[in-house]
Amino acid sequence: MKSKFYIALIATFLTAYVINASARAAPVRKKLAIKAGSIITISGADIKNGTILIEDGIVKAVGKNIEIPWDAFVIEAKDRVVMPGFVLAHTSSGLDRANENVPEVPFLSTFDSIDPVSFYFEDSLRDGVVAMLVLPGNSTLLGGTGTVVKPHGLTVEDMLIKPYTGLKISLQPTGNTSRMGHMQRFRRYISDLKDYLEEYEQRKADVKEENKPFDEEIDIRKQPMVDLLNKKLTAFIYCDIAADVPKAIEIHETYKLNTVLVLGPDCYKAVGLIAQKKLPVILPPQLVVWETNEETNEEEMKVIPMIFDKAGVRFAFQTETSQYGSRYLWYQAATAVRYGMKREEALKSITLYPAQFIGVDDRLGSIQAGKEATFILLTSDPLDAQAWVDKVMIAGEIVYEKEKDQRLKKLIEKPEEVQKPKDTD
Amino acid sequence: MKAYVILLSFLLLMPASAKDEQPEIMAIKAGKILTMSGSPITDGVILIKDGKITDIGTGIEIPEKASVIDAGKKVVMPGLVDASAAPPVRGDLNEEYKEITPTIRISTALDPQSKVLKRIVQTGITTLYISPGWRNVIAGLGAVIKPTGKTPKEMIIKEDAALTLVMSEDSLYGNQIPRSQPPRNFYFRRPTTRMAIIWMLRKSFFDTQEYVKAGEKDDPDLEILASALDDKIPVRLNVRRAINIRTALKLAEEYDFQLILDECTEGYKVAEEIAEKKISVVLGPFYYYPRNLSQYEGREVNWNNAGILTKAGVKVALTSGAQAQSIDLLTATAFAVRHGMPKDEALKAVTITPAEILGVADKVGTLEKGKDADILILSGDPLKVTTRIEKVILNGKTVYKAE
């Protein structure tokens, strides 16, 4: 009787295992080797005809003369350029709505708003982006916390790289508020928060005196701001005009925050101050702006990345879907190189630096032993307009292939048959 | 003797300006010259005199008194020709007192002091076509200009270069009066449907034919239309959707005028039909997705519109777009190639092809003996985004130099 039960149990497990195994998608190969024509490692020198060894989605070794284990699956990419996928340090696209219309909502999270089937993510993957910090928009004072996702997956949980990353603060007043009122609202929020924390600590001390357990938790609506003050969250402060920059720095210094500045096109005028404080910066999507010189009444071209590069500020690029060219991170980097930025630095500004700003540089941003096997395979040099993303590999798994991209095909190939209407008259 | 006296007095009167004047002969030495009229020249020389190219090729002896620009290994190509650009004029581009305004000339509004000119020159454009706005069914006359000169007259190289007709929805926009409300404007405007646009065009052409038959000479509007029907002025017809392109082709056949299609967003759908009629296309600005086109009617976009049209045998010009803000024409060319346009054709589409479409190919578009010395010196391959325009020479004079 007992043995019958065991047989039934084993049978159930076996069936479950078989069903499970067949239901799984193509399994991630444990050991992989990519033989690439050219490897841009970002962390070190470029390698010609090199090999990348991958085990369980992690880079084991990268170099020129690496022995490939007999059981590794080899991906031949002799005519491809392999480099780490692009990282986008700031975006508000792909959200159902980017801004809440109440100004103080630090407790909101973009995790609840990301739309995985949005075209934006599909485009991003096609354009070689492998990680992006999705933050609330630029129109809310305390907009909420962000989420680092990869543009691949059908649910936010699938896409998730790092939840609860960065808190968006916008210094751009909205509605009928003036800049004075806007700043005052921020200061009042912080002072209310400090009062609350003092009272909280007092209550904690009182309870402790009575030798009772203290089980009151911090108000979850205030938690993100508390984490911000404790440097557990990074502040992403949006400055719309140059005059907002000193205010952002005041906030940064008064409350001793971890800060990344998100800049509007006008903010290059405050470059000296930003360089002095050594703050990391996310540049506006429009990199070349025209300004009228008030003395000569002539237009002058301002190349924003060059202004920051010369001042020694470390920055990351961001993109904009509506604008021509600037929807691609590589185009942003190429534009900077056109006006004299060093190629290596420009490439770092779309890979390693943004990864550092959003705290995923332990996994992404360069090709190094120990980091995640997340690369893009390009048809030629990344800064060349003729280069296409041929394949995207995320953690050892190929998630995008250009030849299988049906939508792209529809966008660049001639429609199959367009009927010519018969003349009826 | 007389000439000598004049020259002498000139020198005496203007000693200050003599410094600014460049020497008579200029020579450019470059590693690679893309002439656009034949195969590229390696290690060639261009000789310039009085703003014209006097000689081009290899092994040319440089005169002693010539000022030499040594471009080293850099790339030299003709200045870009933009067949549809934002006009350097002040104020609105649309005259809305009437829907049919063939006598409105954009050239009369040209502003030589416009700040936009510097921007145009820096993007490498040395010849551009400008036109009145697209709010009227027959909007008026466009002109071909160069972004240099002290007076409008100095800027214009071809006045009345084309007559602008608008078949896209731009000429309808805002004309519809909301129901149960009074008209917004005293000048209550007419076409409110696509049908009415076509009707108004047909009516104008019909009136013109009758006018010509009657042998009258007193209507300036119809005079312009008559010369358009007589192929003296080409017709630039703004269309976006495939259905309208077909209608435009039909109208051109019916009234027998020289048609150039403007914008042509859905041109890829009717590429063969356009090629068959040997009609040139001046493409509008490029958009990635229909969702960016909420206000435009061209709803189905193909990124490779230029490439598909070219492969079908249509003469295609790429433009920076009359309505767009500061799109770099060379970058547009690089992207056209990215999306499938052949490399050589793409470079022609911003030089010789638009020059031919605009009817100024005898002056600009290639680097050849006798043509205007409009020359770009580039740091590398023109189709690379990392390449910078380092020098722009317009009519033999350096008008822009990168720091």
Residue range A339-377, pLDDT digits in tens: 999 999 999 999 999 999 999 999 999 999 999 999 999
Where along chain B do the CATH 3.20.20.140 domains lie? 80-358
Contact A138, A92 (CB under 8 A): yes
CB contact under 8 A, B385 and A339: no
Q: In the structure encoding, which two tokens stand for residue B159, read together?
A: 């006045």
Check residue A318 and give its pLDDT.
93
Q: Determine the average pLDDT of the residues in B162-176.
A: 85
Span A41-99, pLDDT tens digits? 999 999 999 999 999 999 999 999 999 999 999 999 999 999 999 999 999 999 988 99
pLDDT at B174 over 90: no
Token pair of B28 as six digits: 């450019």
CATH class of B2-78+372-401: mainly beta
pLDDT beyond 50 at B267: yes
Interatomic CA distance for residues A265 and A195, integer angstroms: 37
Q: What is the pLDDT of residue B294?
A: 47
Average pLDDT, chain A: 90
pLDDT of residue B93: 87
- Note the pLDDT of residue B1: 53
Q: Which residues of B touch A301 (CB under 8 A)?
A: 119, 122
Q: Which domains does chain A have, with CATH numbers?
A: 26-85+365-401 (2.30.40.10), 86-364 (3.20.20.140)
Return the residue in A350, A412, A424 with the most chain B beta carbons within 10 A, the one to mutate for interface testing.
Answer: A412
Q: Does B270 touch chain A (CB under 8 A)?
A: yes
Q: Which residue of A has its CA nearest to B122?
A: A301
User: Where does chain B hold its CATH 2.30.40.10 domain(s)?
Assistant: 2-78+372-401
Identify the burial level of B191 via C-beta atoms within 10 angstroms of its C-beta, where 0-12 means exposed, 13-18 middle and 19 or more buried. Answer: buried
CB spacing of B388 vs A290 below 8 angstroms:
no
Residue A383 sits at the chain B interface (C-beta within 8 Å): yes
Find the CB nearest B286 among A288, A324, A383: A324
Which is the CATH superfamily of the domain at B80-358? Metal-dependent hydrolases (3.20.20.140)
Q: What is the pLDDT of residues B276-307, one digit of tens each?
A: 999 999 998 777 765 544 455 656 788 999 99
**pLDDT for position B212:** 95
The conformation of residue B97, written as its DSSP 8-state character, comes to S
Chain B contacts of A388, Cβ < 8 Å? Answer: 338
Section A114-130 average pLDDT: 94
pLDDT of residue B18: 46
Q: Got the DSSP string for A9-37?
A: HHHHHHHHHHHHHHHS-SPPPSEEEEEEE
Radius of gyration of chain A (CA): 26
For this complex, say whether ipTM is above 0.90: no
Question: In this predicted model, what pLDDT tens digit does every residue of B17-66 receive, in sequence order?
Answer: 444 555 589 999 999 999 999 999 999 999 999 999 999 999 899 998 89
Q: Which of residues 237-256 of B touch A (CB under 8 A)?
A: 242, 246
Question: Cα–Cα distance between B86 and B295 in angstroms, integer?
Answer: 19
Residue type, B397: K
Query: For residue range B341-379, what is the model confidence (pLDDT) as tens digits?
Result: 999 999 999 999 999 999 999 999 999 999 999 999 999
Chain B residues in contact with A292 by the CB 8 A cut-off are 115
pLDDT at B23: 57
Please indicate if any CB of chain A lies within 8 Å of the CB of B309.
no
| pLDDT tens digit sequence for B128-167 | 999 999 889 999 999 999 999 999 999 999 999 999 999 9
Q: What is the dihedral of CA A188, A193, A195, A199, to 10 degrees?
A: 160
- The predicted pLDDT at position B292 comes to 47
For B311, name the nearest residue in chain A, comparing CA atoms only.
A414
What's the pLDDT at A68?
A: 94
Do A314 and A280 contact (CB within 8 A), yes or no? yes
